Copies of this chain bind each other. A is one copy, B any other.
Amino acid sequence: MQIRKEELTAALIDYLLTHGLSELSLRPLAAELGTSARLLIYHFDSKEGLLAAAMDAMHTHLRHSLQALAEAEAPKGIKPLRRFWDWAIAAENLPYMKLLYELQMLAVRNPETYGPFLQNSAAGWLALVKRIMPDDERDAAMTSLPIAVFDGLFLELMSTGDRRRTTRALDRFIELVEQARLHRAQAVRKPRKAATRKRGA
């Protein structure tokens, strides 16, 4: 019955992964962990310390898992963005990603409460995104776009649970980027310019 801090943290994350952050309360949490609120405070000093430990563990999990993805050999024919998506919606990462997005949203409205738990995970994402977009598109707006597509689709996935639809939409975006790149390549090779502009709606 002697649970130490690390074991507590692991169980704590499991709890947060299914119950979310916003309505966390010490006593119900302690009840499900088989301990008491007293113990949680003893080990984590305060509720905030408890949240800090949990959020840190979450970030650590995601960082390690993402690093493993980056180091693994990339299969041919799968675009980085799609590979990132598959990683995110994999069973072992999806709950963590949901928690991360929940944190991000809560931090928008309650920065003083949740802001301290934000780590710059976007920096990690960016390293991957850098390889997604064509080089000549690497301005700020064009790195924003794939991340926004990812975020938006992940949002829809969280709301509807529709993996097929969201994944297909992501593939459509990738095709779109491909086609546009191809089109630009052709336009450079044979610059006919204004003659091809016709539909504007």
Contact = CB atoms under 8 A, between A and B. Distances in A.
A176 interface: yes
Interface stretch (A28-36, A37-45, A100-108): A100-108
Contact of A180 (B144, B147, B183, B200): B183
B20 A109 contact: yes
Count of this chain's copies in the oligomeric assembly: 2
Contact of A179 (B19, B20, B183): B183
Contact of A148 (B20, B140, B156): B156
B102 A159 contact: no
Interface residues of A, number: 55
A179 B184 contact: yes
Contacts of A166: 144, 148
Central interface residue in A104, A106, A110, A166, by most chain B CB within 10 Å: A106
Given A105-B102, A110-B23, A149 B149 contact: yes
Given A104-B159, A183-B183, 18 more contacts: A20-B109, A22-B106, A23-B109, A102-B108, A107-B159, A141-B172, A142-B169, A144-B156, A144-B166, A148-B149, A148-B153, A149-B149, A151-B151, A179-B184, A180-B183, A183-B186, A186-B186, A186-B196
